[in-house]
Amino acid sequence: MAINTEELRKKFEERLSQIRNTVEAEGLRVEYLGKKGYVSALLADLKNITGEEKKNAGQIINDAKQFIEKRLAEKQTEIAAAEEQRLIDSAERYDPSLPTDLQLGSYHPITLIQRRVEDIFSSMGFIVENYSEIVDDYHCFEALNIPKHHPARDMQDTFYLDNGQLLKTHTSAAQNYIMEKYGAPVRAIFPGRCFRNESTDACHENTFFQLEGIMIDEDISISNLIYFMKTMLSEVFEQDITVRLRPGFFPFVEPGFELDISCTICHGKGCPSCKNSGWLELCPCGMIHPNVLKYGGIDPEKYTGFAFGLGLTRLAMMKYGIKDIRMLNSGNLKALSQFTGR
Ligand code: PHE
């Protein structure tokens, strides 16, 4: 009796092509290779044959068995790949029938004001840069014309780390980095979180935000500084803002100023918010000191520039009428979520 597995293989292939998942594949395996399967039945038939013929038949059945095993393994791989693809596809699909009244988050007032100021300065050709919150003494002080033991260091109560680095006390710490990176001419703003060892009250925090800006080119003067500040602030407050400069001391600017803006509440007439003066103190600034330009690799004979250190936290408080600075770091969602229309 000659053994032929052609028919068996053909039937198996037909069945295999209909298999969709691993459970069906396992069923097919049992049907063909299980104890009571077709291959076992063929092997059982061998007992009716003898000699050389038996040997040949055994070989043929074994070949068929190996073929089935191989094809089943290939199918399993194929099913696994299809399953993976299905998972990927379903993850990307979204279900439009899901309810829409979910509790959505809102932007922090600092984020809102920062983005607004970034947009305004970007539209005036300034690049927006990012800088580390952990800095070294050179960038935070020395490159800003504040040598070791200079009394001006006392103006900023600093958190020093064990390795000699420190938490950025002001965004000015990035000035040198920006000058080295871009050279002159340059227009850049760089917002950032700053840290000082303050005891907290309604007006003081140990963690707050500033937004620094520098503009360096040939023939930059105080008029340019006034123009950019006035334009930006009028946009932020959506009203015509008048600014004034008072002398102020910072070792990295000469001359240095405190920039005040006309009170946004009484428009300069005098009210409790501006302590009846008609002015609000907002932003230290000045013309970049020649030493600072030199440290940044820029020739002070050829270039001049202005720098300002806008108190972003203070600006947010003024813009949104926030009375206590501690609210901003409180994580109190009830208070913080009211400034944005989701
Ligand atoms: N870095 C200064 C501060 O935080 C502010 C400042 C910035 C002053 C730029 C002048 C120019 O106190």
Q: How far is the CA of 295 from the centre of ligand 1 (A)?
A: 17
Ligand 1 atom, smallest distance to 155 CA: 12
Q: What is the pLDDT of residue 112?
A: 93
78 and 158 fall within a common domain: no
Q: How far is the CA of 172 from the centre of ligand 1 (A)?
A: 6
Judged on CB neighbours under 10 Å (0-12, 13-18, 19+), 285 is buried
For 73, residues 6+ apart whose C-beta sits below 8 A from its C-beta are none
Are 174 and 192 in contact by the 8 Å Cβ rule? The answer is yes
Q: What is the pLDDT of residue 89?
A: 82
Q: What is the pLDDT of residue 334?
A: 84
List residues bridging with 167 in a β-sheet.
Answer: 134
Residue type, 167: L
Q: What is the pLDDT of residue 2?
A: 66
Confirm whether 228 is domain-assigned.
yes
Q: What is the pLDDT of residue 290?
A: 98
Are 283 and 229 in contact by the 8 Å Cβ rule? The answer is yes
Residues with C-beta less than 6 Å from any ligand 1 atom: 170, 172, 250, 253, 256, 284-286, 307-309
Q: What is the pLDDT of residue 87?
A: 84
63 and 118 fall within a common domain: no
20-76 pLDDT, tens digit each: 998 899 999 999 999 999 999 988 888 888 888 888 888 999 999 999 999 999 999
Task: Provide the token pair at 256.
Answer: 């240095």
What are the start-end ranges of the H helices in the chain? 6-17, 22-33, 38-45, 51-92, 109-123, 137-140, 175-182, 222-237, 290-295, 312-320, 333-336
Q: How far is the CA of 68 from the centre of ligand 1 (A)?
A: 78
- The reply to whether the predicted model has a pTM over 0.75 is no
Q: What is the pLDDT of residue 153?
A: 85
176 and 270 fall within a common domain: yes
How far, in Å, are 102, 225, 246 from residue 284 at the CA level?
A: 43, 11, 9
Ligand 1 atom, smallest distance to 172 CA: 1
138 and 252 fall within a common domain: yes
Ligand 1: which of 141, 145, 155, 172 to mutate, most ligand atoms within 8 Å of CB?
172
76 and 167 fall within a common domain: no
Please report which helix (H) or strand (E) contains residue 216, including its range.
Answer: strand 207-217
Residues in the chain: 342
How far, in Å, are 97, 99, 172, 219 from residue 94 at the CA level?
A: 9, 12, 45, 56
Ligand 1: which of 178, 195, 229, 252 to mutate, most ligand atoms within 8 Å of CB?
252
CATH number, domain with residue 215: 3.30.930.10
Q: How far is the CA of 182 from the centre of ligand 1 (A)?
A: 21
Confirm whether 104 is domain-assigned.
no
Q: What span, in angstroms and rounded, lies between the C-alpha atoms of 236 and 211?
A: 14
Residue 219's SS3 state is: coil
State residue 2 phi and psi, 5-degree precision: -85, 135
Q: How far is the CA of 311 from the centre of ligand 1 (A)?
A: 9
Sign of CA dihedral 295, 297, 298, 300: positive
User: Which residue range forms the structural domain that includes residue 54?
Assistant: 6-89
Confirm whether 41 is domain-assigned.
yes
130 and 256 fall within a common domain: yes
85 and 113 fall within a common domain: no
Ligand 1 atom, smallest distance to 256 CA: 10
Q: What is the pLDDT of residue 341?
A: 46
- Segments of the chain with pLDDT less than 50: 341-342
Specify the number of domains making up the chain.
2
74 and 211 fall within a common domain: no
Q: What is the largest CA-CA distance in the chain?
A: 119
Q: How far is the CA of 253 from the centre of ligand 1 (A)?
A: 9
184 and 262 fall within a common domain: yes
